[in-house]
Structure formats: C-alpha cells, structure tokens
Structure 1
Amino acid sequence: MQRHYGLDWLRIGAFAILILYHVGMVFVPWDFHAKLPGAWWVAVPMMASNPWRLALLFVVSGYASRALFLRNKVPWRFARQRSLRLLVPLAFGVAVIVPVQPWVELTSRYGYPHGFWHFWLHDYFRFGRLGPLVLPTWNHLWFVGYLWVYTLVLAALVAIVPARARQAAQRGFAWIMRGPALLLLPVGWMVLVNFVLFPGGRETHALVDDWVAHASYFPAFLFGFALACAPATLAGFVRRWRESAGIAILAYILVAAIEIRWPGNTMPAPWGTIFSVARAVEGWAAVAGLIGYADGHWNRDHRWRPMLTEAVFPFYIIHQSVIVLVAYWLRATGWPVWLDAIVLVAATVAGCWAFYLIGRAIGPLRPLIGLRRHASRRTRVDPRPAIA
C-alpha cells in the first residue's frame, strides 16, 4: 500500500477540530470537567462536528491499521507493535497527564479541600470512588484504550479466520459498498443502533458497558480496515463527495434549527426523533464527503506533513489537561466569553506545541508521548502515524 497523504491531512484536521471542540465544552451546558460562564448558542456550531468527528477518526485508524498490518504480516507481531505504541502513552497519560482534570473537577464543583499534589499522592490512585468520580481515570484518553482493544480484536480475527474467508469478506465489502449503499447502509446502521438496538442509550467511555459506542465505532474501524484494500469503494467516495457534503450540510441545518428552537435537549416529540435521525445522516454523510474530498484533493505531500502527523498524538494526550487547567485559572478573571475563548485556544495550542517539542527532543520521553524512540533520519520526525 502507498501512503495516503489525504487521510493524513484528514486526521490532522480532525484532531485540530477535536481540540477546538473540547475548548467549546468549557462554555456549553453539557457536562465537562471545568466550566466557565458561556452561552447556549455555542452548542450550535459544535454540532457541526459532533456527529462525525469520532467516527471519522476510527475509520482513518482502521485504514492505517491495514497498512501497519501488511507491514508486520503476522497477527501477533502486529498486536505487539500496536500494544507497545498505544499502551505506553496511555499508561503515562492516565498516571501523569490526566490527574489534573479530576482534581479541578472535584475542587471547583464538589469542594475537594486539598491541593493537587496531595490529591495525586493520596487520592488519585485509590481505585475506587472519590465523590462522584471513579479514580484513577482515563477521561479523554478513552479513545486510545478503545483503539487498542479494537486492534487486539482485529488481530484475533485475522489469526482465527481462514485466509479464503477473509478474502471473500473483502470482496463482499467491495461489492456491497458502492453506489448509494455507501451512504444508505452506514446511515441505516447508525439509526438501527440508536433506535432499535440501544434506544435512549448513551456513551459511557467505560469500555465494559459502552455498547452504544462499540456498536458505532468498532464497525467504523473495520470499515476503514476494509476500505484500505478496496480502491473501487474509495473511488466511489471521490465521485460522490459533493453529494455527500451537500447531504451533511442540509442535515446539519436541520439539527441546528431544532437546537435553536428547543435548546438543551428540550425538543418535544416527534422533533427529538427527527433530531437524532438528522444527526445520524449528518454523521456518515460528513465522513463520506471528507474521505472523498481528501482522496481527490489532498492526497499529496508537503514539508509540514511529517511533523504535523507526528505531533497529533502528543497534542491529543496533553490538550484536554491544558484546557481544564487554564479554564480553572480563568474562573477568577471575570472576562467576557470571547476573551476566555481566545485565551483558552492560544494557551492550549502553545501548551501542546511545548509538550511535543520538549518530549520529542528528550529520547526517554518519546515513547511516553506516543513517539518512536528514534526520529527518522530524513525528516527527524516519525512520518508514520502512532494513533492510527
């Protein structure tokens, strides 16, 4: 497989949107670890990416996993390589990076009386409840844990399913996923998950009881894995990207209109059902449109791509802790929403770059922040994605 630069750019953009989304979480009424005075309307632009950002990341991760699997060839070797690459930064993140988030939440919302160091040394590693929280926690790093689990399941499937059956499944995927089915089948599955299999279910990000998330994201991961060896399907996305983007925009307009009319999940029947279906349509149509556009217009290299590709994982590890800590400090300023937002975005970007550049330069820290131990001789950065 040749490297797909378009999906690299898509992955970079998706994580950039994720950082902005988590900044927005500070201001909307939705639950988050740190809150500042905001406005309900902030949720409206956030819904432009809410239905598809994670599904897209799992599709891209599945696609890249196919390339990594072909490079490693043997399932156990693939699983070992991915385990080392994902579990080391996950453990480091849970132990060192994430703890500031529950400390801020407990201090600002539940009256926790102690400072951070007391919390980290005496309360964080209790493996039980402290107030409403179960500690330790992985918070935003749930994505890394889920990706590791999906990778192990994939490796096990490849190991136990005969080669002929896998080849038949790949051919079946290529035959089915063409034409209107590229949109209709995934949207139908998302509607089935939300209205038939798990009606009213919510994602928990707790792994063992998160069936709504698994039913949504594991198929997306497998879809990306199969897409990597289905050029006709990828070409179908390219041909239909305008159509897909148009459908996604129309669905988002409907979602936004309902949210504006009934903010805060207060819409009456049948508007609640229409809202959920529109979100499902927006979610997959946006993924399809973005993949098609990326393959048709972004599949080319640039001198910045290797560094940005490598920086994505460290940015992801650190960004939410920076957001939560800066938001905690901003509580006492009384600044207007727009100024808080500017400071949060600027501080988060600066903190992410500092974390990446410092960690990149110190050899023993590289594996802890998701980088390979040694940089590429050609670029001095790792051109292959870690969280892929």
Structure 2
Amino acid sequence: MGVEGRGERLWFLDWLRVIAVFGVFVFHTLRPFDDGDWHVKNAQTSEGISIGIAFLGLWGLAFFFMISGSAAWLALRWRSALEFLRERSLRLLVPFFVAYVLLSPLQYFIEEHHKGRSTASFFGDVRTFFSDLAGDAPLWLRDTYHLWFLVYLIQFAVLGLPVFLFLRGRTDWIARRFERRGSILLLAVPLVPIHLLLLAAPGPEHGWGEFVFFFDFFVVGYLVMSDDRLLAAVRRDAVPGLILGAGAFVLGVVTGIIDFLDGWWPDPGYSWQYVWYSPLITLAVWGWLVAVLGLGLRAPALQRALPPRLARAAMPYFIVHQPIILAIAYFVVGWDAGIGLKYAVLLPTAFAASALLAWLLSSTPVVNQLFGVKR
C-alpha cells in the first residue's frame, strides 16, 4: 500500500524510495571499479567511475535518509509515540538482526578470502566473525557492511522522536520564511556550520560526524512533509535546486574534491581544504535533494499507485543486494577482461538474482516480516 497523508495517498514517496534502493544497488555495483577501498576490488580502476561514485555518494544516501524522515512523519500521523517506536522496531530492528546474523558472515568470508587475509573454510570464518562482535559507536557492532544504514535509522527514529513531537504545530514560522522562489535552498544555511564543525571529527568509518550529517537530512525530510507550504516550496524550487546541486558539485570537481575525498574519507580531519569543501558538500547535497524530491512531486508517472509486489520487495531487496554483488564480483574481478565487460556481466546478473530473492522473501509468510515487509 502507498503512504497516506492529508487524506490522500502520496505515491511519489513510495516510488522515490524504490528508486533510491535501485540507486544504492547501482552505487554498490560500481564500487569494485572505483579508486577507493572496498570489500572486493578489481585490479584495474576507473577515474570516471570514481567521479560517479563521488556524485552518487554525496547526495544519494542523504536522499535515502530524507525519504525515511518523510516516512516518519507519515507514520506519526496515525500512531502514538510508543506505537511509532514499536512499528520502527518491527520494520528496522528485526530485519537488521536477521540480516546481520545471516548475511554479514557471508560478506566477511568473501572479503577476507578476496584480500588474502584468510584461507579458512566458510564455517571457520563464521566462527571467527562471531568471536568478537563489538564495534565502535555509533554502529556498536563491527562489520555491519551495508546494514549500517539500518543501524542509523533505528537510532534516528529514537533521537528524532522528541524533535518531531516538538515540531508538531510549530512549523508556521519556518514555512513563512520560504515563500519566495528559490528560498527553500536557504534551508541548507544553518546546516553548513554544523557539518563544518562535526563532519571531520576523528573516528571510525560511519562515525559521529557522518551520523549527525545524515540525521540532519532525516529531520529535514520530516520537516518538509509536515507543512504543505514547505512541500510546495520544494516542488516550486526543483529547478533552482538542480542548478545549485550541479553547480556546487562541478565546482568541487574542478577544484579537486575527488582527490581530496580519496585521502580524506579514510582518515577525516580539519584543514583549509576541508573548510572549502565541507560547505560545498552541504550545498550540493541539499540542492540535489530539493531537485529530486521536487521533480518527484511534479512527475505524473510517480503519482500513480506503486505495484504492491514492488513495494513489498523494496526492503528485502536492499538487505540482500550487497551480498549478492560481492559474491558475483568475487569471481568477475578475476577475469582477464576489461572493466566494461565485467560490469556488463555484474550489473544485470546481480540485479536479477537480487530481485528474484527479494521477491521470494517478500512473498513468503512470516519470513517476509523478518525482512521488514509490512503486514
């Protein structure tokens, strides 16, 4: 079923969520071929793919979190605070633990063997994986792989709840600030100093700086949905948002942001370069979010009902796609062939296998609820 609000079904959010899941899939199929480190890597990499990864990585995940914040507003329209937390637990916490137990050991086995760090059997690596699960905050567990997204969302639901309850009925002042064309882009301004201060904070991958960065857009997603005037402003300013997002990204690429990110992401820290790139990142992300959400509001095709099977398979697809990509890439990157041929095999094969498994999981009673499908 589609999400509901204001007496109508907001199908565009369902469509955007499915599109976002597919975007994450494409992002992960490209990772074996970019210049950065990943679980399975091809010997030959591509600078062009690295630019594409930087582009998708800058705003794609933030968009995913913003859509999740929008869904939180819809969930709270018809639920109490306790009902909201219970629903989030069933939709996020249960599938996370199921997927962590079943799929993270498989990904660990693939990565350790690909990088030559282990020659043990699968079950030997499984025992090693479960021998010590402790990880650094805010993930709390080690080797969550792509499931870190669910760990963030679980915590965002808890931390965001008091913010959401406070915002109820208090958005009039905010909405009146963005009545002029292009003004919704100024919503990024208060985020710039926050991200400038925290995004470079030292810590592990997916640490507190990134946590705050994505939490901000999660809250913004709720805020935009909570007032018709803000939603209308996003729809109105889709084109200015596209100009801002594309312009900030191009400016970043021209001034060397790709090389900066290659050396900065593994070991974040403060520098004069970071002072330049951090505001660009925030502005580029917000511009693209406004553009994509605004175009989603405008596109007639996205105002139609999402096929129920597609809607039900979205969460299972997200959960299973990366282990399947790693399993196929483990063999594909070893071929004596160019990147183009390898990718031409990896993309459709991983998509078909992920879609088939997601359909089976979403169609099987009881099992589907373990993988986050609504009753």
Short-chain TM bin: 0.7 to 0.9
Q: CA deviation at 1:213?
A: 1.9
Q: CA deviation at 1:234?
A: 1.0
Matched, 1:106 2:79: no
Cα distance change of structure 1 residues 58 and 176 upon mapping to structure 2, 3 Å threshold:
farther
Alignment of 1:146-161 (within 5 A): 146-156=152-162
Matched, 1:125 2:127: no
TM-superposition CA deviations, 1:258-317 (whole Å, max 9, x none):
4499587479x8666544433322111000111111112247444654332222211110
Cα distance change of structure 1 residues 237 and 99 upon mapping to structure 2, 3 Å threshold:
same
Q: CA deviation at 1:335?
A: 1.9
- For 2:223, the equivalent position in structure 1 comes to 226
Amino acid at match of 1:362: T
- For 1:170, the equivalent position in structure 2 comes to 171
Aligned counterparts of 2:163 and 2:191: Cα–Cα separation in 1: 23
Of the structure 1 ranges 134-143 and 242-251, higher mean CA displacement relative to structure 2 is found in: 134-143
- For 1:94, the equivalent position in structure 2 comes to 100
CA contact (8 A) 1:76 1:155 kept: no
Matched, 1:338 2:344: no
Cα distance change of structure 1 residues 157 and 167 upon mapping to structure 2, 3 Å threshold:
closer
Aligned counterparts of 1:261 and 1:89: Cα–Cα separation in 2: 35
Q: Residue 41 of structure 1 is aligned with which of 40, 43, 48?
A: 48
- For 1:56, the equivalent position in structure 2 comes to 63
CA contact (8 A) 1:26 1:32 kept: yes
CA contact (8 A) 2:312 2:374 kept: no
Cα distance change of structure 1 residues 30 and 359 upon mapping to structure 2, 3 Å threshold:
same
Amino acid at match of 2:193: L
- For 2:91, the equivalent position in structure 1 comes to 85
Aligned counterparts of 2:131 and 2:259: Cα–Cα separation in 1: 41
Q: Residue 36 of structure 2 is aligned with which of 18, 27, 30?
A: 30
- For 1:382, the equivalent position in structure 2 comes to none
Cα distance change of structure 1 residues 285 and 330 upon mapping to structure 2, 3 Å threshold:
same
- For 2:267, the equivalent position in structure 1 comes to none
Cα distance change of structure 1 residues 203 and 244 upon mapping to structure 2, 3 Å threshold:
farther
Q: CA deviation at 1:136?
A: 5.4
CA contact (8 A) 2:20 2:60 kept: yes
Q: Provide the aligned length of Structure 1 versus Structure 2.
A: 357
Amino acid at match of 2:363: A
Structure 2 residues without counterparts, runs of 5 or longer: 265-270
Aligned counterparts of 1:13 and 1:198: Cα–Cα separation in 2: 27
Cα distance change of structure 1 residues 109 and 80 upon mapping to structure 2, 3 Å threshold:
same
Q: CA deviation at 1:328?
A: 1.0
Matched, 1:239 2:240: no
Percent identity, aligned pairs only?
Answer: 22
Aligned counterparts of 1:70 and 1:203: Cα–Cα separation in 2: 36
- For 1:248, the equivalent position in structure 2 comes to 245
Aligned counterparts of 1:106 and 1:153: Cα–Cα separation in 2: 35
Give the secondary-structure state (helix, strand or coil) at the position aligned to 2:9.
coil
- What TM-score do you get using the length of structure 1 for normalisation? 0.83
CA contact (8 A) 1:62 1:225 kept: yes
Structure 1 residues without counterparts, runs of 5 or longer: 374-388
Q: CA deviation at 1:174?
A: 2.2
Amino acid at match of 1:67: L
Q: CA deviation at 1:126?
A: 1.2
Give the secondary-structure state (helix, strand or coil) at the position aligned to 1:333.
coil
Aligned counterparts of 2:339 and 2:299: Cα–Cα separation in 1: 36
Aligned counterparts of 2:178 and 2:351: Cα–Cα separation in 1: 39
Computed over aligned residues only, the root mean square deviation of the Cα atoms, in angstroms, reads 2.7
Amino acid at match of 2:132: F
- What TM-score do you get using the length of structure 2 for normalisation? 0.86
